[in-house]
Chain A
């Protein structure tokens, strides 16, 4: 029996509360894959679901799609309880879980046609979607002759075939070459611009940073950071300002005299001050006749924050 649904958060497309998933081991004991995860994914844009291998990303996605039964907690997707009401919203959800699995001895087109027919989607839509992911000229070839990138694109085509509001993509860039990764990135951007919500799990952080509006970082089955990319970046090492000036020694002295926490970094300087102090710094240096050649926020990248927040990627194991 499903519990009565709580009030849905306005504009939340995915809500996860206290999600826990344990796997019993044959030799006794339990492996905790997800340990009390709370997460809200707002409607629209691209949401990055980040974490090292074994952090519980795929298990969470499997819980959302009712492929695995949570040990505790609840998942709501498009307002429906995943355990009970998923069939009522499944037509609005497109998904890839890990490697897209399609019949290797069928053509790409036949695979999509068979899936589409479940929802009464016609052959024209299949042709359109194959065109869209750049597989139209290989549509009649059997899938086992496809490269990994082509299979990935075929999986995305299958996910898009329903014209979904929500796309759940689990590691869509896995195994792709740089060109393939860029293709996927551009496709995700286009899909988000069309008004869809894209929930993308990945450990390729540079890619995520370029396409995501919001991210959540998962480690050992728990969410350790969530919010806009900027908010999450600010949870990393302290932000500051990075500047270049023609005479860095003099500039360093001037800034320290002005009470700022400035340090030398090669031929540049770092100042541990918020970006709002940029005007003050400019004035201090200008008063000394020193003029900036570069001034920008000294912000950690997502990879640095990710590594800081997810230092131990080993899945927590609890003996019983």
Chain B
């Protein structure tokens, strides 16, 4: 089994599409790091003073009547002094154009969604290609135990997707570090923050693995990559929205809401039904169920 998993990992990573994807992700991290570096500016006393002077000048124009209250309700007279003090208060001026590395956790949450979509696509195309090229027959001539074949593919795909998602987040984080050190700030990076970010990265990678598992399972039944992605899209974009609209009581069972709850790992007022662990376990159970159904179908199917 170990050999079979190794073969499947090699087969996946040797694919041209996967190599192009890795290259694209590397380019994205370089572009992101460079852009953030160029856009990030530390707040200097001179810059702050210039900004406050500009606001003070506006305040003077307001008092002279050049700038009038624009949203006064009809028939209501505003006190001009009060209005100008509220609108143009130089003491309240804050400039923050610097990148805070502490915000990386939010970056991870955003990119994790992207990783989940990629995981689904990678899983679907991995087994979809076997069907479209007919290589599943060749493979079964070497290993006729079908459950082992699909399980090896699943494990190999999961390992590659998990490692890929974690490595991508690490590289992305590393690409943002120069911007934080030289043109931003690194405040707030304590032990809690590191645990928090590591947890988010790992939960995101786990969700990507679950998505790849679902992709493999659907493509194995549909025998086609595009069909698998289409089915997943229809479920997420149509079926879940119908359930949300017509059967709100069943929201607690929806895949994407539970996945979001698991990734964010914070109490959500709009989704109070489940704990982080509970949501993660439910999503994993769904994926395992789909995988088992798919494998049972594959074991009974005539390969023609």
List chain A positions with a Cβ less than 8 A from chain B: 23, 62, 65-69, 86-87, 90, 93-95, 97-106, 110, 114-115, 117-120, 158-159, 162
Instruction: Let me know if B16 is at the binding interface, CB within 8 A.
Output: yes
Closest to A89 in B: B144
Instruction: Let me know if B50 is at the binding interface, CB within 8 A.
Output: no
Contact B304 A101 (CB under 8 A): no
Instruction: Let me know if B297 is at the binding interface, CB within 8 A.
Output: no
24 A-B pairs (CB sep. < 8 Å)? A62-B303, A62-B304, A65-B140, A67-B137, A67-B140, A68-B302, A87-B144, A93-B141, A94-B141, A95-B141, A97-B137, A98-B137, A99-B134, A100-B138, A101-B135, A101-B136, A102-B138, A103-B133, A104-B133, A115-B139, A115-B142, A118-B3, A118-B4, A159-B141
The residue that B14 contacts in the complex, of A86, A87, A106, with Cβ under 8 A, is: A106
Cα–Cα distance between A105 and B14 once the two chains are bound (Å) = 9
Residues from chain B with a CB closer than 8 A to the CB of A66 are 140, 144
A-B contact count (CB 8 A): 73
Residues from chain A with a CB closer than 8 A to the CB of B3 are 117-118, 120
With a 10 A CB-CB cut-off, give which of B3, B15, B138, B302 has the most chain A CB atoms.
Answer: B138
In the complex, which residues 1-35 of chain B have their Cβ closer than 8 Å to any Cβ of chain A? Answer: 3-4, 6-7, 10-11, 14-16
Cα–Cα distance between A99 and B7 once the two chains are bound (Å) = 23
Instruction: Let me know if B94 is at the binding interface, CB within 8 A.
Output: no
Closest to B148 in A: A87
Residues from chain B with a CB closer than 8 A to the CB of A120 are 3
Q: A90-B141, A118-B3, A158-B138 are in contact. List 10 more A-B contacts (CB 8 A).
A: A62-B303, A99-B134, A101-B137, A102-B138, A103-B129, A114-B10, A115-B139, A117-B3, A118-B142, A118-B143
Cα–Cα distance between A102 and B143 once the two chains are bound (Å) = 15
* Chain B facing A: main interface SS: helix
Residues from chain B with a CB closer than 8 A to the CB of A62 are 302-304
Cα–Cα distance between A204 and B139 once the two chains are bound (Å) = 27
List chain B positions with a Cβ less than 8 A from chain A: 3-4, 6-7, 10-11, 14-16, 129, 133-145, 300, 302-304
Closest to B134 in A: A101
Residues from chain B with a CB closer than 8 A to the CB of A98 are 137
Say how far B26's CB is from chain A's closest CB, in angstroms: 21
Closest to B299 in A: A69
Closest to A113 in B: B10
Contact A101 B133 (CB under 8 A): yes
Contact A65 B144 (CB under 8 A): yes
Cα–Cα distance between A180 and B300 once the two chains are bound (Å) = 38
Residues from chain A with a CB closer than 8 A to the CB of B129 are 103
Cα–Cα distance between A288 and B10 once the two chains are bound (Å) = 81
Residues from chain B with a CB closer than 8 A to the CB of A118 are 3-4, 7, 142-143
